[in-house]
Chain A
């Protein structure tokens, strides 16, 4: 700390800083020493197995005996096998529930509450709305299992308001299982989006709102002309987080439905797990994992590209 304080003092003094002494341009080989431990751990436990995953994806392997080279067959399967295609299709549906719905809902609420950024007590609501982000997904799944159960909260409410006919086993019904799983994602994501957008709207220059109002802009015009452009960065972050979460969904499906009933809630991550550790189709499982990684990379890059970062 002593050196730091002295350095700070000198910085404040200012006058003595020697001119012309820029950052030293010479190469600092020592850097590799500082990087070595992190790169070693990253390499051995993440990058090396990633490479192996790519390699194994070109084989037909049951995890035990000798593997057979099959080229791109596992990838062709992803495009043609109805079970795998269904899983990726379900992931698309989940994107609607995990990402689109929360973002749209968040935008709608921000439009209505755009000026709420200065409300007293907002910190309390922010803390509550953000809570689903910190609760373990297995716990979230467990609590929604109880809600969707045949005698759970949802059906109790329906019966109480006389909609007995609508009551059902939500996660056991072919028609409702996937949307039911999706709605849990909406529940997790909406608070995040709202908190993000409200914090973004709070940073928008107040004068822009004043100006919009002087020109007689209504809530809608004000939102479209001022708020929306002002929170583009937050929208990009929200979309990235929620779309990636939808694509990676595993815990929720594992705990609530295990892909059932039938195959109605299978998702790529669950299928990869099942094939790798239960049905001994390790090559296919690796191919699914790699495609999933590529999809996530692609989504992140596209969203980052559409939204050039203005900060940093």
Chain B
């Protein structure tokens, strides 16, 4: 089926209009961020010169170097823990028979849909009681729990899609469960694991409510939390704020630009995360 030239042109125009509408708010932030401090910006007028001073100020005085380190550490921890635990659990759900399998699987699925609001309040009191609020653990463990629902579901689906005959053959070769998992399934699951890792990293990085509740000390703030507080203190310093916002968004956006196919495929596969 061919598309006529007129139709193709019309389609491009429509796509371009929506692409521009999508980009305007984000480009506005970027433009503000590179505008020298104190210079008034009007519309999309280009700044008189490119200035990176706002970034330096946000990075040093705004404390975003610390917030970024916190976010990286938490996201890395959540990705590693989720990857390991959901591989194990997904393997059991996909290949083993045991009493309570479907009930337990539904319990995991429940975690996929639960909003943070439904458990964060008692969780805060629990973690405070255990002396864990204002530590990495208060971010790492609950976010791992949240990601596990998706991760287990994802890995189980991947393992189930694996040809049964290959598994059978490996078993006939005398491969036990451990060999089967770590030598056969996991090496083949690298792309699935990578997509899961990307999505979990993004969700963890962008999470706001949980750090807002768990963290009161400045030293443990994650990047989005830092931005929200910075927002409160610098409402009038638009450029500085824009630089801070850019710093917060950039790591994930850069990952996305390089791996967008994987991001989109993962999120469109019906990834409903609670």
Which residues in A have some Cβ–Cβ distance to B below 8 Å? 1-4, 6-8, 10-11, 17-18, 21, 23, 25-32, 34-35, 37-39, 41-42, 44-50, 52-53, 56, 63, 109, 112-113, 115-116, 118-119, 121-123, 125-140, 142-147, 149, 153, 156-157, 160, 187, 190-191, 194-196, 199, 206, 209-210, 237, 240-241, 244, 247-248, 250-251, 254-255, 268-269, 272-273, 276-277, 282, 285-286, 288-290, 292-293, 296-297, 300, 312
Contacts and interface: CB of A to CB of B under 8 A. Distances in A.
B208 to A, nearest CB: 4
Contact of A116 (B11, B98, B187): B11
Contacts of A119: 3, 8, 11-12, 15
Question: Main SS of the interface on chain B?
Answer: helix
A137 B242 CA distance: 14
A39 B92 CA distance: 12
Contacts of A282: 121
Contacts of A209: 1
A260 to B, nearest CB: 14
Nearest to A237: B270
Interface of B: 1, 3, 7-8, 10-12, 14-16, 18-19, 21-26, 28-29, 32, 42-43, 81, 84-86, 88-89, 91-93, 96-99, 101, 104, 107-108, 111, 113-126, 141-142, 144-146, 148-149, 152, 157, 163-170, 172-173, 175, 177, 179-180, 183-184, 187-188, 202, 205-206, 208-209, 212-213, 223-225, 227-228, 231, 238, 241-242, 245, 248-249, 252-253, 256-257, 260-261, 263-264, 267-268, 270, 272, 274
Nearest to A238: B268
Contact of A250 (B121, B165, B208, B264): B208
9 contacts: A38-B85, A42-B111, A42-B148, A46-B146, A112-B11, A129-B15, A136-B252, A237-B270, A300-B113
A34 B156 CA distance: 12
Given A115-B3, A125-B19, A300-B272, A251 B248 contact: no
Given A32-B98, A49-B126, A146-B29, A290 B118 contact: yes
Contacts of A34: 88-89, 91-92, 96, 177
A125 to B, nearest CB: 5
A26, A121, A146, A268: residue with the most chain B Cβ atoms closer than 10 Å: A146
B121 A272 contact: yes
A113 to B, nearest CB: 5
A139 B227 contact: yes
A135 B119 contact: no
B117 A4 contact: no
